[in-house]
Chain A
């Protein structure tokens, strides 16, 4: 039969706008965070990571912000392009759980031309 699960949150943006994808993490002891992009029919692809001794890290067109006070992580994509359409996953881990990655369920980003 058909499985029942959570519907994936969807963010719809216009091409050229900035996108912000949010992630709430669960463990205040987590010290490593990572974002992945998964395009349709492909495996997840690393985008950017950040360690807990930083609040912000920038890559090419992407910025990750970490707010440890409220256990919140965000991925900002500047000048969003059609090729950015994908599902984005955040993940966290810490030494206390044997470095096991805890994955979010993902956010679907749709870029409108």
Chain B
């Protein structure tokens, strides 16, 4: 089954404790992206990747890192999480940026205390 898999589904952590949210897709997609979703603010792009070893900042990249060492994986790293990073995070992938539909993961609800 074609899917984007994110883990964990829920995460509670404390300020400053590094964490990684994993994302994997099985569709051989070149484009992958991370979004955060906050009430009233819609979906905001954090980082995206056009292909292996190619990553770019989205609209809200501060406090986040990503890597794309393999085509299927695109982890999101919070080196020193802060409470304002409490949010619902989605990973997404598509064959091509902006010209093909995005497939989304189920989301990761992160709470930073």
Contacts and interface: CB of A to CB of B under 8 A. Distances in A.
Contacts of B39: 3, 5
A106 B44 CA distance: 13
Interface in A63-105: 89, 93, 98-101, 103-105
A46 B102 contact: yes
A44 B43 contact: yes
Contacts of A99: 96-99
A109 to B, nearest CB: 16
Interface in A18-73: 32, 34, 36, 41-46, 49
Interface residues of B, number: 21
Contacts of A106: 42
A8 B98 contact: no
A49 B101 contact: yes
Interface in B62-99: 90, 92, 96-99
Interface of B: 4, 38-43, 45, 90, 92, 96-99, 101-107
Given A5-B38, A45-B104, 14 more contacts: A3-B41, A6-B40, A7-B40, A32-B98, A43-B92, A43-B104, A44-B43, A44-B90, A44-B104, A49-B101, A99-B96, A100-B97, A103-B42, A105-B40
